[in-house]
Amino acid sequence: MSISTALPSLDSILLAHQRLQQQRPLVQCLTNTVSVNFMANVLLSAGASPAMVDNPEEAAEFVEVAQGIIINLGTPTTALVEAMRLAIAKAQQIGKPWVLDPIAAGALSWRGQLAADFLHYQPTVIRGNASEIIGLAGLGHNSKGFDSSNDPADAVDAARALLQHTQVVSASGAVDHIVAKTGQQGVEQYWLAKIKGGSEFFPLVTASGCALGALVAAYAAVTDAFNAVVSAHAHFAVAGKKAHLLTHAPGDFQREFINQLYLVNANDFAHHLQLSVEELNAR
């Protein structure tokens, strides 16, 4: 599986951000109980529209009207898992972009097996912390699950291995690492994008990573997968940086972060974004 040959840049991020504001894509959120409210507020403030349609009776039907889908394994239940299976099967069938957030995939066996099973439905993007990416790829056994015990740089090989199932893999942290491939089979190129910024308060705000996955799904509705992931991470990093400069504690930061997701503009991206894109060495 491969994607557009165009590489993300400040210009492509600005265009994606503009499209997000104009189109306000509808994102279907099948997510954990901890993240529902914050995820919805993040999507609304950033420029998208959330819909928490997560029951087996309606999940697949709603995929037909949604522009993007987030599948988050934070608090799986039997009914929610069934809804997820139905939703991603429909998404794969009709070509809707969907994002897999494999929370604790390397730490707990049942959800790890669920995440592995969901890979058969070819997610557009896999987004997690470094430990989750390593755990999902089967390249490590030290994942703490909800907490990241690895640096995102440690997850690059695992992310690259997962590209057999998806278009883009991101591992978030102090410096987000995003791995993708372009071109066609036989002439593929592998790329690593790095985004630095955000805030040290992010780990102290429940569901910040979950909400990032939802924003990736929103951007995937308006641009290609690689640019969508970079744009979502950039939006988060810049808004987080601005919020951090205005606050001194996690509670205030959470409120101000929602404000800055809404307020961020082209000048903010140009001033605060720290992005690099490099080609990964061939194996």
Q: What is the mean pLDDT of residues 24-50?
A: 98
The residues near 257 (Cβ < 8 Å, ≥ 6 apart) are: 199, 205, 239, 240, 243
Type of residue at 234: A
Phi, psi (deg, nearest 5) at residue 161 = -65, -35
Token representation of residue 64: 């037909």
Is 216 within 8 Å of 127 (Cβ atoms)? Answer: yes
239-261 per-residue burial string, b: 16 or more CB within 10 A, e: under 16: bbbbbbeebeebeebbebbbebb
Q: Is residue 2 part of a domain?
A: no
**Beta-bridge mates of residue 181:** 190
Which tens digits make up the pLDDT trace of 129-146? 999 999 999 844 444 444
Phi, psi (deg, nearest 5) at residue 235 = -60, -45
Q: Is residue 5 part of a domain?
A: no
* Weakest mean pLDDT among 127-141, 191-205, 244-258: 127-141
Closest CA to 280 of 195, 183, 189: 189
Q: How far is CA 53 from CA 10, 63, 69, 89, 212, in A?
A: 34, 9, 10, 15, 18
Domain count for the chain: 1
Which tens digits make up the pLDDT trace of 143-178? 444 444 568 899 999 999 999 999 999 999 999 999
**Beta-bridge mates of residue 27:** 50, 68
Q: Is residue 86 part of a domain?
A: yes
Q: Is residue 31 part of a domain?
A: yes
pLDDT-derived band at 197 (thresholds 50, 70, 90) equals: confident
CA quadruple 264, 270, 273, 275: dihedral positive or negative? positive
Q: Is residue 197 part of a domain?
A: yes
Type of residue at 30: L
The percent of residues above 70 in pLDDT, for the chain, comes to 92
Q: Is residue 4 part of a domain?
A: no
CA 117/CA 122 separation, integer angstroms: 10
Token representation of residue 3: 């994607």
pLDDT, position 185: 67
Is 281 within 8 Å of 65 (Cβ atoms)? Answer: no
pLDDT, position 144: 43
Q: Is residue 65 part of a domain?
A: yes
Q: Which domain holds residue 22?
A: 10-279
pLDDT, position 183: 79
- Please say if the pLDDT value at position 1 is more than 50: no
Domain harbouring 108, CATH code: 3.40.1190.20
pLDDT-derived band at 187 (thresholds 50, 70, 90) equals: confident
Q: What is the mean pLDDT of residues 70-88?
A: 97
Type of residue at 233: H
pTM of the shown model? 0.94
Q: Is residue 3 part of a domain?
A: no
Q: What is the mean pLDDT of residues 38-52?
A: 98
Which tens digits make up the pLDDT trace of 101-118? 999 887 888 988 999 999
Within 10 angstroms of residue 57's Cβ, the number of other Cβ atoms is 11
Indicate the Cα dihedral angle 40, 46, 49, 50, nearest 10°.
Answer: -20
pLDDT, position 142: 43
CA 137/CA 132 separation, integer angstroms: 8
